[in-house]
A and B are shown apart, each in its own frame.
Chain A
Amino acid sequence: MVERASLPIGLWGAMGLLATLLFMQQVGLQWPAASAGPTGLGQVIFFYSVLPRAAVALLAGAALALAGLLLQRILRNPLAEPSTLGISAGAQLAMATATIHAPLLMEYSPGLVAFVGGIAAVALILSLTWRRGLEPVSVVLAGMMVALTANAASAALILANGEYLFSLFIWGGGSLVQQSWYPALTIAWRLVFGFAAAVLLLRPLAILGLDDASARNLGVSLHATRFLIIALAVWMATTVAAEIGIIGFVGLAAPALAALSGARSLKQKLVAAPVIGAILLWLTDGLVQLASGPGGERIPTGAATALLGGPLLLWLLPRLRMFEWPSLAASTSSGRRVSRPWVLVILIGIGALVAAVVGLLVGKGPAGWSIASGTVMTDLAQWRAPRIAVAAAAGGLLGAAGVVIQRVTSNPLASPEVLGVGTGAGAGLAAVLLLAGMPGLAWQLTGSAIGALAVLAAILILGARGNLGPERLLFAGIALNALCSAVLTAVIALGNVQSYVLLRWLSGSTSEAGAVHALVGFAALLVLSTPLLVLGRWLEVLPLGDATARALGLPVRAARTTLVVIAALASAFAAMFVGPLSFIGLIAPHLARLLGLGRARQHLVGSILLGALLMIVSDWLSRMAAFPYQLPVGLFASLLGGPYLIYLLGKGVQRHG
C-alpha cells in the first residue's frame, strides 16, 4: 500500500528495546516485593499483574494489527481497521445496551456481545456500500457514520443510566491493567487461530488483493472467502475490545508501517504487521505506566495509542499510494432540474417556518400533548424559541458547509463532519476544560473555535502537500476526526466533572440555548453564507475540474482555500451550539439536489433551509420522545439521516457523471 521502504528495521529494534527497558524497570520495581514479601502478595502482583500486562500488550497489539491487515487486504482499503469500520463503536453500543438491559448476558459472555455489535456494524457498512463495489472512500465514510450514530446512541444510554457511567468510561479508554492471565489467554488463542487461518488462506488472500475479476478468474469463491476473513478479523478485534476496551490506531498503523519498513509480500506483512503492532502497544503501555502516579494512570492506554498513532497516521497520509479504484473526482451533475427553482426554495422556506411554528406551539406538558396559546405560549416561547432558533441556525450552517464541501471536493459523499472540524471543536473544548477546570461559556467557545481552526489548518497544510486532491482532503479529515475523537475519549474516560460536560456536548443538546446563542447563531449564518452567495460562480465552476476552472480564469487554489475556510468556520459554529452532529451536512445538500436544485446558488439556499428544517424537527423529537427526559439532538439527526443514507448508497451514487 506504500510507495517505498523508508523505515529501517533498526527503528523497530530500537523501539522494541525501549519497550523492553520500560518493562524491565517495572520488573525492577516489583521484584524486591515479589521475592521478599511475607504475605506472598508481592509475588502475586508480579506474576498476575506485571507479567500478564506485558503479555496482553504484546498479544492485543499483534491481534489488532493482524485484524487491521486482513481487513485492509480484503477490502483493498488502506484505512480499514476496527475503529474506521465502526466495529469498536458497534461493540461499545452492544455492550452498553447489554449492561443496562441484559446484565446476565454481560456477566457470562461480554465477548459474544461485543462480537455481535462489531459484526452488525460491519454488516451494515458492507451492505450499504455493496453496490458501490466496497469502494474504499464509501466504506470508510459509511463506517464513520455508523460509528457516529452508534456513539450518539451509546452516549444517550450512558447519560440516562448513571450507575454504569464509570464502567463505560473505563472501557472506552482502553486500560491494560491486569490481575489474572485470563484476558491474555483469551486473546492469545484467538490470535493463534487467526494467524493460522490467515496462513492457510494465504493464496485466496493474495488473490483477493487483486480486483474482483482476476480473483473470480482464478477460481476463488469470492464472497464466502471475503466474509470468512472479515468475520475472523472482527472476532479478533472485538475480543480485544471485550477484554481490555477500545484500543485505536494499532490496527490502522501497524500494517502501513510494516509496508513502509519494507515488507512487500503478503507473507512478509503477515509477520511484520503483528510484530510492529505488538511493539507499538507495548511501548505505549510502558510510557503510560512510566507516567502513572499513585492515583492511577493519567491517560488510559487506549487513548494514548491514539495520541501517538494520530500524528503517525497524518505523517503516513502523503505516503499512501492512491487506490486502484476509479477516482471519485467526478462531475456532480444532477438528474433533473425543476423549471422554477426559486419557487421551490421558497416552498422549502415555508416548510421550515411551519416546522418552527409547530415546534413553538405543540409540546408535551405534565398531562400529555398540548397546544400552547395565549399567555402560556408567550411564556413557553422564551424556552422554545431560542432552542428552535439555535437548531435552525446550526442546521443552516451545516447545510451551507455541506454544499461547499461537496462542490469543492467534487465528492458526493463529503460532508462537514468528514473534515473533522466538529470533533476538532470538541478537542479544543476538552483542552480548555482540562486547563481551566470549569471555564465560562466564553472560554468554552474560544476553545472550540481554536480546536476547529487548528484541525482546519492541519487539513490545509496536509492537503497542500498532496495538491489538495479530493481523496487526500477527505482522508486528512477522517484521520483528524479519529484523532480528535481519541482525545475526547481520553478525557471522558477520566470520569470527572469535565467528562460530563464533554459527554453532554458530544450528545448534542440545545437545552442551554438562550437569546444570545440564537443571535450569535443567526449572525454566523448570515456572515458566512453571504460571501458564499457572492462567490456562487466559484461553487458552480469548481466541480467541473481544475483544468476547466483554470481555463475559465478561476484562481483555483485561492478559491478552494477560501471556500474551505468558510465551510470549516460554519461547521465550527454549528458544532459549538449543537455538538458534532452527523448527517445534516451530508443530507441537506443531497436532498436539495434531489429536489432539483442544481445550480450553485439555489443549491446553497435550498440546502441551508433544508438543514434548518431537519434540525428543527430533530430538536423537537429530542424534546418530545421521552418527555420529560430530553434525548440528544444528534441521535435524532442521525436517525433521520440514517435511512436516507441507506437509500442514497444503496441506489449507488454514480461514480462518473
Chain B
Amino acid sequence: MSVQRLCRPRDGLDGLVALPTRRDFLALAAALLTSSAASASATRVAAIDWGMLETALAIGVVPVAATELIQFRKIAVEPAVPEDVADLGLRGTPNYELLRIVAPDLILISGFYEYQRASLERIAPVSSLPVYEAGRPPYPLAEASMLALGDRLGRAADAARYVAETRDEIEARRGALKHVATRPAFIISLGDSRHFRAFGADSMFGDVLERLGIVNAWTDGTSYSAAAPVGLEALARVPDASIVMVAPLPPEVRRTLPANALWNALPAVREGRVAVLDPINHFGGLPSARRLARLLAGAFAPQAGNG
C-alpha cells in the first residue's frame, strides 16, 4: 500500500480512504448515496432500542442502522431485518463513529438508553417513546408509541392499520382460546434448572396474556416487568396454573430439569400443561406482542395457532 494512496482524499465520503477493500467501499458509498437519493423525502432512522426497531419495521420503515442484529435475529426473530441494515454493535455501547458515518436523520431509543442521549444528540435528533414504565401495562403504551412514530415518519396510516390489525388479531385469538385456555398461566423464562423469571402485569408478556383472556398466575410484585430470580417452588403456589416457558432455555436444563423432583411433582408438569415458546423479545413492541399472541395461541390450541 503506497503512501500516496493512504493519504489521497477520495470523492464520495470525502477524506475517508478505505485501505484493503477500496472497491467494496466505493460500492458501499455509492449504495449509500443512491439509497438516500431514492428516498430523499423519507426520514433515515437508526434504532438503538430493539422495541423501536420492531415498531419501525412493522410500519414499513427500514432503519439504516440498528444494534446487536446478530442477537436480534436469534432472539426477537420478527420482523425480519434486511441484510443491508448496518449493525451498530452492542445496545449498551453502540458504535457512535459508525452511526456518524451512516448519518441518520432520527435516532430511536427508549428509557433504557437515556444515558446515551448526550452522545446520540451530537449525531441526530433523538426520540424516546415510552413503552415500559414500572407498574403500567405496556400494551397501550406500545400502541401509542407506534402511532406517534407513524406520525413522525409520515406513516400514520400504516401505523394505524398495524395497531388495528394487531388488536383484531388478539381479539380473534381470545375468542378461539375462550374454551381452551381456562386456567391461569405462568409465563416465565428459565435462568437455570432451579430458578425462573416471572413476567408480571407490567410486562408485555403478562399484558398480552391477559388480553388473550388468560389469567396471569404471577400476581406478586415485579421489578421492572419481571421478578427474578425466583425458585421453581413458587410455581406450586397456583397448583392449577399452566406453565409457559419462553426460549431460549439454558443448555443444562434439558438434562437437569427432568431430574428435578419438585418440577416433576408440579401438577402442570404431571398433567402435561407445560409449553415452550420460541424466543420472543422481552422488551418488545407491538410486533413482539403479536408474535407472542400467535405462539401462545398455537401452544394452547394447536388448531387455533394457524389462523
- Chain A residues with CB under 8 Å of chain B are 39-41, 44-45, 47-49, 99, 103-104, 106-108, 110, 159-164, 166-167, 169-171, 173, 175, 177-182, 293-297, 300, 363, 365-377, 379-380, 382-384, 438, 441, 493-497, 500-501, 504, 509, 511-512, 514, 623, 627-630
Contact = CB atoms under 8 A, between A and B. Distances in A.
21 contacts: A39-B267, A104-B251, A106-B251, A110-B252, A162-B75, A175-B231, A177-B233, A178-B194, A296-B229, A365-B98, A366-B25, A366-B28, A372-B16, A374-B15, A383-B96, A495-B229, A496-B228, A497-B224, A509-B93, A511-B119, A623-B97
A373 B195 contact: no
B164 interface: no
Contacts of B16: 365, 370, 372, 376
Nearest to A438: B114
A366 B89 contact: no
A33 B116 CA distance: 51
Contacts of B256: 182
Contact of A295 (B7, B118, B222): B222
B71 interface: yes
B33 interface: no
A179 B229 contact: no
- The secondary structure that dominates the B interface is mixed
Contact of A628 (B95, B232, B234, B254): B95
B250 A164 contact: yes
B220 A369 contact: no
Contacts, number: 221
Contacts of A161: 71
Interface in B223-247: 223-224, 227-234, 236, 239
Contact of A179 (B13, B122, B194, B221): B194
B87 interface: yes
B18 interface: yes
Contacts of B9: 373-374
B6 A371 contact: yes
B100 interface: yes
Q: Interface centre among A104, A295, A509, by most B CB within 10 Å?
A: A295
B92 A504 contact: yes
A102 B27 CA distance: 38
Contact of A49 (B13, B89, B233): B233
Nearest to A503: B92
B19 A629 contact: no
Contacts of B251: 99, 103-104, 106-107
B20 interface: yes
Contacts of B25: 365-368, 370
A381 to B, nearest CB: 10
A380 to B, nearest CB: 6
Interface stretch (B41-49, B170-178, B203-211, B258-266): B258-266
A170 B193 CA distance: 11
Nearest to B219: A294
B255 interface: yes
Given A367-B18, A368-B20, A369-B19, A41 B122 contact: no
Nearest to A164: B250
Interface residues of B, number: 81
B24 A368 contact: yes
B74 interface: yes
B97 A166 contact: no
Contact of A368 (B18, B193, B254): B18
B79 interface: no
Interface in B113-135: 114-116, 118-119, 122
B17 A370 contact: yes
B262 A44 contact: yes
B229 A170 contact: yes
B97 A383 contact: yes
Contacts of A438: 111, 114-115
A181 B194 CA distance: 12
Nearest to A103: B251
Given A372-B16, A495-B228, A497-B224, 17 more contacts: A41-B266, A161-B71, A162-B75, A167-B250, A177-B195, A365-B16, A365-B98, A367-B28, A369-B20, A370-B19, A373-B17, A374-B9, A496-B224, A509-B93, A512-B116, A514-B119, A627-B89
Q: Interface centre among A167, A494, A496, by most B CB within 10 Å?
A: A167
Which 7 pairs across A and B sit closest by C-beta, in order of nearness? A367-B25, A374-B15, A103-B251, A179-B262, A177-B231, A376-B15, A44-B265
Q: Interface centre among A177, A293, A300, A493, by most B CB within 10 Å?
A: A177
B68 interface: yes
A382 B232 CA distance: 50
Nearest to B227: A295
Nearest to B8: A373
Given A41-B239, A41-B266, A104-B251, A179 B21 contact: no
B92 A159 contact: yes
Contacts of B7: 371, 373
Given A177-B194, A511-B96, A296 B231 contact: yes
Contact of B89 (A110, A512, A628): A628
Contact of B112 (A49, A108, A497): A497
B191 interface: yes
Interface in B24-63: 24-25, 28-29
B233 A295 contact: no
A166 B224 contact: no
